[in-house]
Amino acid sequence: MLLAVVSLMGLAQAQEPIKSAPGGPLEVTASRGVTARDPSTIIHEGETFWCFYTGRGVPTLHSKDLVTWERGPRVFDKAPEWIAKEVPKNDGVYWAPDLMKVGSQYFLYYSVSSFGAMHSAIGLATNPTLDPKNPAFKWTDQGPVVQSRDGGDFNTIDPAVFLDDDGKLWLAFGSQWSGLKLVELDPKTGKRLKPDEPMVPLAAVSPIEAVYIYKRKNHYYLFVNRGTCCSGNKSTYHIVVGRSESIKGPYLAKDGALLTDGGGTLVVDQKIGPLTGVGHAGIVEKDGKSWFSCHFEADDRMDGRATLGVMPIQWTEDGWPEVLPPDKAK
């Protein structure tokens, strides 16, 4: 089965599942549902796929097939106590979460900030399961992992967690100013392994944010957003990629340009038919195939509401990703 783009319309009271339409490329219908902005990497536990996204308390979606989605529980019913002290301007909406299972725990990282501010933090919550029906289900706040302050040169938002084949755990993050950073984490705690160790620069030249790291064969792939967000169908958000033989870089585009110098090979452009402003890359495997997840800032067919996308991804012979409309998948 080929998956169409999954489209989730704006906040509503009804709880009907949200289902994409079969049919041609980017042909979408949707029942009442939710906007999924800044989606996490989609992960699965058992037969259920989960997606976490920007919103009050970190809302969630779950699916059995990547096509039909239902709303799940929020991570937090009330704000963790540390936030009021460390990021007092935050309004209870947490941005761009990402998660991964490490050992016996799920590590969930989320941004705590306010619009346009450098005063931010990335928090951590842990849970032994994603299944709300499991008696062990409980999100536990673990406090801040990395923080930034006004007057610095980086911003701690848009976390992306990566577990390497050698067991090392990494967190990439950042936005604007001096760009995207990388720090090593302790796989036992999810916190920084060496808090005083300098951060590794990954990519730069503003506007930039929404990092995602993926490993394939002998290369690490760094997906990033360039362009501006949060302007509906006027957004210029688009996704580019670079690759490296080391997680620390340097990451180079297909033409050899460094991502730290503003380079990047285009993966998804800012406009695809009625969809505008693609952001927050992720890759999930299902039935032996790879699928590229993202959001679109606006869908013209839904009065400019945001849209969650799930599209086929394949790789060229020389090892570069290609994201395709569903009818183009091989």
The dihedral through the CA atoms of 13, 273, 281, 5 has a sign that is: positive
CA angle at 182 for the pair 178 and 186, rounded to the nearest 5°: 150
Compute φ and ψ for 237, nearest 5 degrees.
Answer: -45, 130
Nearest to 162, CA basis, from 100, 105, 103: 100
**Annotated active-site residue in 86, 209, 297, 299:** 209
CB-based contact 160:173 (threshold 8 Å) = yes
Nearest to 159, CA basis, from 92, 209, 119: 209
Helix (H) or strand (E) holding 86: helix 81-86
* Distance in angstroms (rounded) separating the CA atoms of residues 274 and 138: 40
**Annotated active-site residue in 38, 98, 184, 299:** 38
Where do we find the tokens 């620069």?
A: 201
Tokens of 112: 């705590």
* Distance in angstroms (rounded) separating the CA atoms of residues 148 and 155: 6
Pairing mode, strands 200-203 and 180-185: antiparallel
- For residue 329, the tally of other CB atoms under 10 A from its CB is 15
* Distance in angstroms (rounded) separating the CA atoms of residues 7 and 299: 9
* Distance in angstroms (rounded) separating the CA atoms of residues 271 and 235: 9
Is 38 annotated in the active site? yes
Tokens of 318: 């020389």
Tokens of 164: 């390497």
CB-based contact 110:58 (threshold 8 Å) = yes
Is 322 annotated in the active site? no
Contacts of 106 (CB under 8 A, 6+ apart): 99, 100, 126, 127, 128, 129, 130
Which residues belong to the active site?
Answer: 38, 209
